[in-house]
Chain A
Amino acid sequence: MNARAVAAWSCAAIVIALATSNPVYKAAVVVAAFAVLAAAAGLGRMRRLIVGVTLLALIDILLNFVSAHLGRTVLFALPDAIPALGGPYTVEALAFGGSAALTIAAAVLAAAALSLLLAPHEVMDALPGMLSRSGTALSASLNLVPTITRSFTDVLEAQRLRGWRPRGARSWAEVVVPVVLTAAEGSIQLAESMEARGFGSGIRTRYAPAALDLGDWIVVATSIAAVVGFALARALGWAAEWYAYPSLESPIVDARVIVFCALLFVPVVLWRKRG
């Protein structure tokens, strides 16, 4: 799969999820994103992502439930005297939190395609030529992340055996300082290595920039069609908005809008083999 095709699909999914307040369409995007990632990357590689997205969604629902004391269907109430928490707790607040959680889940899952399905250099290749140099620097920086993580463990272990014990925030300086210095030295060494290989010497070219194949073009075309179709549906009033307050009502769903959202499922078929 080409990084530009992945980026096009990812952008389309995010745009649709952000452009609507209707939880059914948001849910369609979440399901599409989940299905595409599961088909292309496999559920095993998604495990942490699923945990993270679920946590984010639950936190969002909980925050809305305890902070938005709006709506007519009261489940229970806490005395107003309790700061921040006092007031009625409503089904509407719960539903609105759920809808917002769907937006977050859709956006995170769609954006995760870039990291789960592509290597950093593939993301870089998708950047326009004028951003190539910045992309290279970013790719190089990402390569340092595992080294820094390992460095933290090394420093912590070495200092512990040298008698260091955590005693308040200041004592962590003995761990943090060597980690930061080691990271800085690593960055300098990497910069030195890049400079020694001519980075910044003139106009760059790219190693075999990947071309879009038929499958990639289909993904790009269907992603564009999904976004354009959804925008059109909104303009024509097919994609009805939904609001949880003051009283909860079922969202209105139009089959034509569902068809546009369904275009986001196309990569499930085309990217299946890559998993």
Chain B
Amino acid sequence: MAQARLNRLTYAYPGSHQAALNDVSLLIDGGLTMVAGPSGGGKSTLLRVLNGLVPHFHGGRVAGEAESAGFNIIATPTRVMARSVGFVFQDPELQAVYDTVEREVAFGLENLGVPARAMPARVGDALAQVGAEHLVGRRVSTLSGGERQRVALASVLAMQPRTVVLDEPTSQLDPKGATLVLDACERVVASSRSVVLSEHRFAQLQPLAETVVIVDQGRVETHAARDSRPGRVEVARLPPAEPGPCVWALEHATVGYAGHPLIADLDLAGYAGQVVALSGANGSGKTTLLRTIAGLLRPLSGKVERRPVRIAYLPQNPGALLHRPTVRSEVELTLRRTDSATSADDVLRDLGLFEVAERYPRDLSSGERQRAALAAVLAGTPALVLLDEPTRGMDPKARIALIELVRKLRDRGGAVVVATHDADLLAAIADRVVEL
């Protein structure tokens, strides 16, 4: 039975002349449907159509017909469709309403008016479905990203929807957290519900998928999953580098914050023309170490030395950098501040951003936004480059562009440090991997 049916659906966000979805006709059946495509192609918009967030929450212009779980999407508010279509978002930190796990899972049930006596059993069942029964009683703020995302999925499952939609649910998780979430998705599919999921790393789920929907420039194509070859970063490994002079060094450094040590007695150094990758689970101290190398945090003990060079630092949240009206002006700001003669166009081309150069950076998709932040910090010629999860939300093409860029930076004599969960990226660029 069809779970969703779109017929010649065209949609544009408020204030945009360009359609985010263009004349889309699509039939989504039961089982697992995977949604793939480049960043900014319209995946998130398509997923939001399935529970009516587009157009009801976001506004904009819509034409055509759309039906999901038996509802006319265009005429039915999202809060009504919530009974039948559940939605899990990308960022596990921005979904929690309550501060304890069972209350969070019960939030949807409260909204649906489920009697209080029926709630504990449904909460328990939902947590069991995602393998998170042991989290009962925990505060949401103390959970890891993977645990939070499973709680988000449980809070949707407790509402017993016919269809569960997930928008890149693992993009911010370490491999272990991602595996736990994807295992939970497998269990949902096995319980005869339909799942629609957008995921860049979907090798694990591909055997389960019935259909793959490719979304690119607002248009969709549907393929049988067995015929589909989702993109994987297949690039030649960088040849080993001949390291230059030492750019940064930690001596017996204990790294942490607010007096809490995360990494003790670390001796580590980075050299010009070398890529050091920091790997490890969420919370292992990658970001803290990166901030210590950058000089943003002092080590709790020991010593950090840096050559007085220009540092480029990409934080985990690209939004921390972006405040100018266009992508181009973000790049130009850095070039101006660093007195660089490099052309903004070259930087934008290197990162595949030339086409969106005049757009407001915060209107871009998460992958494009990540690239815009990269362009903003890497413009000019930084001698020490610190990248925190640079491939977050990036599609395979953008990852390849990033790898090429890191290669260029290294070949120009830059010392690069990358904190990442991305095994493909590690394999492609790291001269040295530090497991934390």
Contact = CB atoms under 8 A, between A and B. Distances in A.
Contacts of A193: 87, 89, 94-95, 97
Contacts of A206: 110, 116
B96 interface: yes
Interface string A189-211: 11111111111111111111100
Contact of B100 (A121, A154, A201): A121
Given A158-B315, A174-B323, A163 B100 contact: no
A157 interface: yes
Interface stretch (A72-80, A105-113, A138-146, A234-242): A138-146
Interface string A149-184: 001001101111111000000000110011001100
A91 B424 CA distance: 75
B138 to A, nearest CB: 12
Nearest to B111: A198
A254 interface: no
A196 B82 contact: yes
Contacts of B77: 201
Nearest to A177: B323
A201 B333 CA distance: 46
A251 interface: no
Contacts of B96: 143
Interface string B57-71: 100000000000000
Interface in B367-389: 376-377
A147 interface: yes
B98 A161 contact: no
Nearest to A152: B320
A120 interface: yes
B91 to A, nearest CB: 6
A160 B312 CA distance: 10
Contact of A205 (B57, B116, B159, B312): B116
Given A185-B362, A201-B112, A157 B313 contact: yes
Contacts of A154: 315-317, 320
Interface in A70-113: none
B321 A159 contact: yes
A20 interface: no
Nearest to A143: B96
B98 A204 contact: no
Contacts of A182: 317, 319-320
Contacts of B304: none
Contacts of A160: 296
Contact of B323 (A140, A178, A202): A178
B320 A205 contact: no
Contacts of A189: 89, 91, 94-95
B119 A207 contact: yes
A208 B312 contact: no
B77 to A, nearest CB: 8
Nearest to A125: B103
Given A195-B78, A201-B82, A190 B337 contact: no
B106 interface: yes
A143 B151 CA distance: 16
A146 B337 CA distance: 31
A198 B319 contact: no
A151 B376 CA distance: 18
Contact of B317 (A146, A151, A163): A151
Given A146-B141, A178-B320, A185-B362, A197 B337 contact: no
A77 to B, nearest CB: 49
Contacts of B377: 158, 161-162
B414 to A, nearest CB: 15
B317 A139 contact: no
Contacts of B103: 121, 207
Given A158-B321, A161-B312, A200-B79, A139 B98 contact: yes
Which of A189, A200, A205, A207 is most buried by chain B, counting CB atoms within 10 A of its CB?
Answer: A207
Interface string B281-296: 0000000000100101
Contacts of A177: 323
Contacts of A158: 313, 315, 320-321, 377
A151 B317 CA distance: 8
A146 B94 CA distance: 11
A208 B313 CA distance: 47
B108 A198 contact: yes
B311 A136 contact: no
A151 B93 CA distance: 12
B213 interface: no
A161 B313 contact: yes
Interface string B303-325: 00000000111011101111100
B86 interface: yes
8 contacts: A139-B99, A144-B94, A147-B94, A163-B338, A189-B91, A206-B116, A207-B109, A207-B123
Interface of A: 119-121, 136, 139-140, 143-144, 146-147, 151, 154-155, 157-163, 173-174, 177-178, 181-182, 185-186, 189-209
A-B CB proximity, top 4 nearest: A198-B82, A163-B337, A198-B111, A207-B106
